[in-house]
Amino acid sequence: MSEQIVHPDVAPLLQVLREQAGQLTIQVRFHDVGTVQRISESAATLPGLPRVQPDTASLLQLLRQQAGQMASRMRFHDIGIVQRVGNGVATLSGLHRARTDELLTFPTGVQGLILNLDHDFIDVILLGPDEDIRGGDLVMATGERLRVPVGHKLLGRVVNPLGEPLDERGAVDATEFRYLESDAPGIIERAPVDKPLQTGLKIVDALVPVGRGQRELIVGDRQTGKTTLAVDAILNQRDSGVLCVYVAIGQKKSSTLAVIETLRREGALPYTTVVTSSPDDPPALRYLAPYAGCTMAEFLMHQGRDVLIVYDDLSKHADAYRELSLLLRRPPGREAYPGDIFYLHARLLERACKLAPPLSPPLRGAPPLSPPLGGAPPLSPPLGGAPPLSPPLGGMKGGAGGGSLTALPIAGTQRGNIVAYIPTNLICATDMRIVLDSDLFNRGVKPAVNVGQSVSRVGGASQTAAMRDVAGKLRLELAQFEEMARFARFGIEVDEATQHQIRRGEHLRAVLTQPAHQPLSLASQVVVLLAATEGYLDDVALEDVPAFEGELLARFEAEHAGLCHQINSTGELSEETREILMTLIANYRTAWLKGKKG
């Protein structure tokens, strides 16, 4: 039996639904008619507002007057056209009034920096990603150069080479913006380097001391502790008043994060600015990173502060510049580096110096300067009210003067070849070098400083008197030890004096070994080096030297804090203080050896 489809009568159903809906509306609408009535009566008693009629004629007249006062202007913008783009660089046509280092704006908002000016084309390095930039896009010139934020508020922050924050702590509160490139201070504006910058590392402060305003190169193979040495120098500035800038150039993000975490854990991040550019960034940012960090450090120097800047490392910076130069079709030279690779680093490191203090004003009542000989007229003022050619002595850019900028550039080598192209250039552009040896590192000597190849051109002038006193013959004894140990390796029989000299050298090498991220104060270094150079460690077993040193320093800090404070504050070691230290060390050694035998 087939089913029958029943069609309902739609019209009656709709009629019933309308009637029910109307009844509901009436119930809701007229539930409280009295209240609505009272509101309507009250509103009717209010006085009516006058209707505003706009004066159309007056408005039209005013618009005509203002339109007549407007001057017609025509604006011209220098426009270029993208011809090629890729790998972080772009080639443009047009822009006939463009200048080197001028900023350009692409349609995507990314900015570019002009690096090459050709007759028909312009080569630009991109400061951002090159996605969505196509051939034929219009590019607008800005007429401005690249500037980065500077100021004390950048301390404790992590930024990229453009000054943009990377630490998720909000925008950077900059004091001002400064150009990335600036001239290095002249000779007259500089002062001699005569104040040490303590690194907290015994082997560095004793043998290759760093002065405030110097440029000290740290060079060695990969994985030999170059970054650790520089970070330890930053950690040791916690109570010295020295501000720091750490520039990571092409370093792995994991390595940079490890350095930032170390600075934060040791309490060094509040006085340090971190400028980072990773391998994932465009080559332009890796190229600009050290100049951005130097500009931020220079501002602090011009405020009269002592600043330490670490470039980690300039070998990767040279590689980034080589990459850009090859993409820009510049002629390659030795090892495919461009011809101006030396100038790349020389103009950067030349900005590190110690500024002379500002000149004192003339004494009140002093006689005026004598007139020119022969009645010659005075010099005419500069034309057009131009400022004088020479900047004020001791304080460029209106700074307080007297500050310093110490640079610790890092360079990598291959198999210890320090005479390679880039290391040789950096050695020529710096005052001194610290050479790290992979063989020493593998033998457990850390920091793995090769004393024979490490050189300081300032030397004792940048040491305190106390350190100069205890470390005067340390280098000679280490050099003699290396010479004697080389002969002893061949099985040659040596006399008792030579054997004693070899044992003394082994103890000196053990004393100069120091754990990472544990910098020592000046007093602690003086105590340990005095004990080593005076022979108080000769009877201590070589494997017990670290324990002896640790307990000796703990004893001095606990029982002779006043003596340590005196050495740290004055930096001097008088004969009386020296005798007291030697007596205390001798007594402690006797007790130590007696405890070992018992």
Task: State the total domains in the chain.
Answer: 3
Q: How big is the chain by its Cα radius of gyration, in Å? A: 37
pLDDT at position 392: 39
User: With 70 as the cut, is the pLDDT of residue 34 above it?
Assistant: no
User: With 60 as the cut, is the pLDDT of residue 255 above it?
Assistant: yes
Six token digits for residue 198: 């303590």
Residue 149's CB: how many other CB atoms inside 10 A? 24
Q: What is the mean pLDDT of residues 408-413?
A: 95
The label of the residue with tokens 């304080």 reads 395
**Domain that residue 584 falls in:** 465-597
Q: What is the pLDDT of residues 354-385, one digit of tens each?
A: 999 875 444 444 444 444 444 444 434 433 44
Same structural domain, 195 and 335: yes
pLDDT at position 379: 39
User: With 90 as the cut, is the pLDDT of residue 324 above it?
Assistant: yes
- CATH code: domain of residue 531: 1.20.150.20
Six token digits for residue 501: 């000299």
Domain end (from 427, 446, 462): 462
Range of weakest confidence among 223-232, 255-264, 589-598: 589-598
Q: Select which of 145, 190, 238, 457 is catalytic.
A: 457
- CATH code: domain of residue 85: 2.40.30.20
What residues have CB less than 8 Å from 222, skipping those under 6 apart?
Answer: 412
Same structural domain, 273 and 404: yes
Q: Determine, yes or no, domain membership for 450.
A: yes
User: With 90 as the cut, is the pLDDT of residue 455 above it?
Assistant: no
- CATH code: domain of residue 187: 3.40.50.300
CA atoms of 103 and 145, how far apart (whole Å): 6
DSSP state of 120: S
Q: How big, in percent rounded to 5, are the helix, strand and coil portions of the chain?
A: 45, 15, 40
Domain end (from 413, 446, 462): 462
Same structural domain, 334 and 283: yes
The strand order across the sheet containing 404-413 reads 158-159, 272-277, 243-249, 306-312, 404-413, 216-221, 432-436, 455-456
pLDDT at position 400: 58
Apex CA 161: angle with CA 155 and CA 166, to 5°?
A: 60
Structural contact between residues 408 and 233, judged by C-beta atoms closer than 8 angstroms:
yes
User: With 60 as the cut, is the pLDDT of residue 411 above it?
Assistant: yes
Same structural domain, 456 and 469: no
Q: Determine, yes or no, domain membership for 102.
A: yes
Alpha helices, DSSP H only, in 434-473?
438-442, 465-470
Q: Determine, yes or no, domain membership for 140.
A: yes
Same structural domain, 483 and 349: no
Alpha helices, DSSP H only, in 358-495?
421-429, 438-442, 465-470, 474-488
Is 265 marked active-site? Answer: no
Q: What is the mean pLDDT of residues 167-188?
A: 91
Structural contact between residues 271 and 155, judged by C-beta atoms closer than 8 angstroms:
yes
Q: Determine, yes or no, domain membership for 575.
A: yes
CA atoms of 468 and 450, how far apart (whole Å): 20
Nearest partner of 240 among 306, 152, 154, 151, judged by Cα: 306
Q: Which residues pair with 218 in a beta bridge?
A: 410, 434
User: With 60 as the cut, is the pLDDT of residue 391 above it?
Assistant: no
pLDDT at position 371: 43
Same structural domain, 127 and 235: no
Q: What is the pLDDT of residues 474-514, one digit of tens each?
A: 888 888 887 787 777 766 677 777 788 888 888 899 999 99
Structural contact between residues 271 and 244, judged by C-beta atoms closer than 8 angstroms:
yes
User: With 60 as the cut, is the pLDDT of residue 13 above it?
Assistant: yes
Q: Determine, yes or no, domain membership for 183.
A: yes
Same structural domain, 140 and 185: no
List C-alpha distances in Å: 454 to 238, 442, 458, 514. 26, 19, 13, 18
Q: What percent of the chain has pLDDT over 70?
A: 85
pLDDT at position 396: 44
Band of residue 62 on the pLDDT scale cut at 50, 70, 90: confident
User: With 50 as the cut, is the pLDDT of residue 190 above it?
Assistant: yes
Q: Determine, yes or no, domain membership for 507.
A: yes
Six token digits for residue 317: 């910076």
Structural contact between residues 190 and 353, judged by C-beta atoms closer than 8 angstroms:
yes
Question: Average per-residue pLDDT in the chain?
Answer: 84
Same structural domain, 138 and 160: no
Domain end (from 434, 462, 490): 462
Same structural domain, 135 and 172: no
Q: Determine, yes or no, domain membership for 419.
A: yes
Same structural domain, 113 and 189: no
pTM: 0.81
Alpha helices, DSSP H only, in 94-208?
202-207
Nearest partner of 411 among 353, 344, 460, judged by Cα: 344
Same structural domain, 174 and 284: yes
Same structural domain, 348 and 424: yes
List C-alpha distances in Å: 295 to 175, 178, 289, 309, 321. 13, 7, 10, 11, 19
Alpha helices, DSSP H only, in 361-447?
421-429, 438-442
Range of weakest confidence among 72-76, 157-161, 543-547: 72-76
The label of the residue with tokens 């500089």 reads 190
User: With 70 as the cut, is the pLDDT of residue 394 above it?
Assistant: no
pLDDT at position 61: 86
Q: Determine, yes or no, domain membership for 214.
A: yes
pLDDT at position 194: 87
